[in-house]
């Protein structure tokens, strides 16, 4: 190996590569690939963004269970949805690969099963505090503030904080 020496510092040309600075995302992608974590990261991203990937009607009746050997195992609420989704497999695969940034899913296996509570909660509007009674205007205001938050748990937390704040600002009666 050769080294380029510039005044005080010596740099190994093999270490520099084409770009002197790599982005953090490219470094993390490389580490995930080497450790075999790509499918787990894809699973987590799909679960987090499921509503935005497939849309509300499909998301409220399905849940991405796991990805193994480029095959997505998808839980479906009932046999009617399973039958309907068999026709949508190519479209779903295309959307998923577009989000993943490559061909990570080549097949989808559908099975009827219990949709996790978190999936149902992410598709629905998060509940407010039990002891809070808000008007429709206040509910609309709280919803408008949290609508852009993608993470369901974080959205629920912010809704709770906003509802408590609105309760203290609204005079009783």
Coil, helix or strand for 3?
A: strand
pTM of the model: 0.54
The whole-number pLDDT of residue 20 equals: 60
* Whether the Cβ atoms of residue 146 and residue 158 lie closer than 8 Å to each other: yes
The whole-number pLDDT of residue 71 equals: 93
What are the structural domains, with CATH classification, of the chain? Answer: 37-120 (3.30.300.180), 125-169 (no CATH)
The whole-number pLDDT of residue 18 equals: 54
| Secondary structure element (H or E) that encloses residue 14, with its range | helix 13-16
Strands 71-76 and 62-68: antiparallel
The whole-number pLDDT of residue 126 equals: 43
pLDDT digits (tens, 9 = 90+) for 23-80: 777 787 788 778 878 778 878 888 898 999 999 899 999 999 988 899 999 999 999 9
Q: 138 or 170: whose pLDDT is higher?
A: 138
pLDDT digits (tens, 9 = 90+) for 82-137: 999 999 999 999 999 998 888 989 999 999 999 887 544 444 444 444 455 667 77
The whole-number pLDDT of residue 106 equals: 94
End-to-end CA distance of the chain: 80
Query: Is 164's pLDDT higher than 60?
Result: yes
Rounded Cα–Cα distance for residues 41 and 17 (Å): 27
pLDDT digits (tens, 9 = 90+) for 84-98: 999 999 999 999 999
Secondary structure (DSSP) of 35-66 = HT-HHHHHHHHHHHHHHHHH-HHHHTTEEEEE
Cβ atoms within 10 Å of 63's Cβ, excluding its own: 23
Winning range, highest mean pLDDT, from 7-21, 82-96, 135-149: 82-96
Give the torsion through C-alpha atoms of 106, 108, 109, 115, to 10 deg: 140
């Amino acid at each position: 190996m050769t080294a380029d020496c510039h005044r005080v510092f010596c740099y190994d040309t093999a270490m520099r590569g084409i770009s002197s600075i790599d982005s953090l995302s490219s470094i993390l992608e490389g580490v995930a690939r080497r450790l075999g974590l790509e499918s787990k990261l894809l699973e987590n991203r799909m679960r987090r963004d499921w509503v935005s990937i497939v849309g509300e009607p499909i998301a409220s009746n399905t849940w991405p269970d796991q990805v193994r050997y480029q095959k997505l195992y998808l839980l479906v609420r009932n046999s009617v949805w399973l039958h309907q989704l068999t026709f949508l497999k190519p479209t779903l695969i295309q959307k998923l690969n577009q989000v993943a940034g490559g061909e990570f899913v080549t097949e989808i296996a559908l099975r009827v099963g219990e949709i996790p509570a978190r999936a149902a909660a992410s598709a629905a509007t998060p509940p407010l505090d039990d002891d809070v009674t808000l008007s429709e205007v206040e509910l609309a205001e709280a919803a408008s503030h949290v609508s852009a938050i993608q993470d369901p748990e974080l959205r629920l937390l912010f809704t709770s904080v906003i509802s408590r704040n609105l309760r203290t600002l609204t005079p009783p009666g």
